[in-house]
Amino acid sequence: MKWLRNILKGASLTTALFIFQACYGTPQDALYEYGEAKMSFTLLSGSTGKPLEGIHIKSKITDGSAYGEDIGVTDKDGSCEVNIPYMRNGVGPFVRFEDPENIYTAKDTVFSDLRERNIVVSLADN
């Protein structure tokens, strides 16, 4: 009789653990781990199609936070290669292209594909 009680206790515990895992999934150790993605951009004028020099690139990890320091500035060819911080298994990263002289309208975007490649962005005139 004692062995039957031990078997039922073990089965009850196993069932409870199975139900917990089915409801909540397996533990995700890297859920809030941060990483960096290397990306390259070319910024062009929306009206002329010419490269834009001196456009600042800013980044933030989550939607509710503010944009941080510049992570890059475009050169005379309108190009810039940056490391964009992001949170693994989260939405983002959020990137802002901003003209300090306010000639061009700032542009905000979110990237879901973080492979290194040249992304062409055109900014509209103010």
Q: Give the model confidence (pLDDT) of 32-53 as tens digits.
A: 577 788 888 899 998 899 999 9
Average pLDDT across the chain, whole number: 81
Report the DSSP pairing between strands 94-98 and 107-110. Answer: antiparallel
Q: Is residue 13 part of a domain?
A: no
Q: Is residue 71 part of a domain?
A: yes
Count structural domains, the chain.
Answer: 1
Res 32: pLDDT: 58
Res 25: pLDDT: 67
Segments forming the whole domain that contains residue 38: 34-123
Q: Residue 107: which CATH number?
A: 2.60.40.10
Entry pTM: 0.68
Q: Which residues in the chain show pLDDT less than 70?
A: 8, 10-11, 13, 16-17, 25-32, 63, 89-90, 116
Q: Is residue 11 part of a domain?
A: no
CA atoms within 13 A on the CB side of 39: 26
Token representation of residue 77: 């060819």
Q: Is residue 101 part of a domain?
A: yes
Q: Is residue 10 part of a domain?
A: no
Res 99: pLDDT: 92
